[in-house]
Amino acid sequence: MKTGLFGGSFNPPHLGHLRAAEFFARAYALDRVLVIPAAAPPLKAAPAGASNADRLALCRRTFPAGPFDVCDWELRRPGPSYTIDTLRQARALWPEDRLFLLVGEDQRAQFRQWKDWREILGLAQLAALPRSGQGLSGFVPLEISSTQIRRMLAAGEDASRYLSPSALKYILERKLYGSGGLP
Ligand code: ATP
């Protein structure tokens, strides 16, 4: 089996994430893609505006089950979320699988700052997702970040073209990210 791992703050998860992960799932013929919200990303500020449970729920409302499987491994683990620990967990669970690590090009650029990056490369193949520009043949990235979406929501702007309808509903119902709630 071929398993992809796609980690991030997902604060909130958006259609840019989904589009990129769907493309790579097809391109690499992945059998499953684990979507893994991080508890405390080592190289970023702690997620604000939504709880761990909210981010998990939002991932479930953004990434459809099969091939996607939203998983709470990093949320359950105490301390910072290191990709190497997550990869070891996947390797222990699926000793025979080929593992693919899906990362955006911004993350790829700072990959050598990651804990045990050499060991990561021994465990998984890196797949870099373009975030802007022309992308790859058959793939045009959606140029959006969670930061931009949080700003739009706090300003009361319409973010519906960047979020799944169900994720947007969840955010507005709970007034996450300073959004004003449902109209
Ligand atoms: P923030 O704005 O809060 O920093 P983000 O939008 O970069 O968040 P993350 O949750 O940090 O989102 O991203 C998870 C992974 O998805 C990272 O590897 C990131 O590079 C990648 N990614 C984020 N947005 C896109 C996008 N629009 N297209 C392709 N990949 C993306």
Give tens-digit pLDDT for 89-141: 999 999 999 999 999 998 988 999 999 999 999 999 999 988 887 767 778 89
Phi, psi (degrees; rounded to nearest 5) at 99: -105, 135
CATH class of residue range 2-141: alpha beta
- 15 pocket-lining for ligand 1 (C-beta < 6 Å): no
State in Å: Cα 104 to ligand 1 middle: 6
| pTM of the predicted protein model | 0.94
Neighbouring-strand partners of residue 8: 37
- 108 pocket-lining for ligand 1 (C-beta < 6 Å): no
- 16 pocket-lining for ligand 1 (C-beta < 6 Å): yes
Interatomic CA distance for residues 106 and 129, integer angstroms: 9
Atom of ligand 1 nearest to the CA of 102: 18
Q: Would you list the domain boundaries of the chain?
A: 2-141
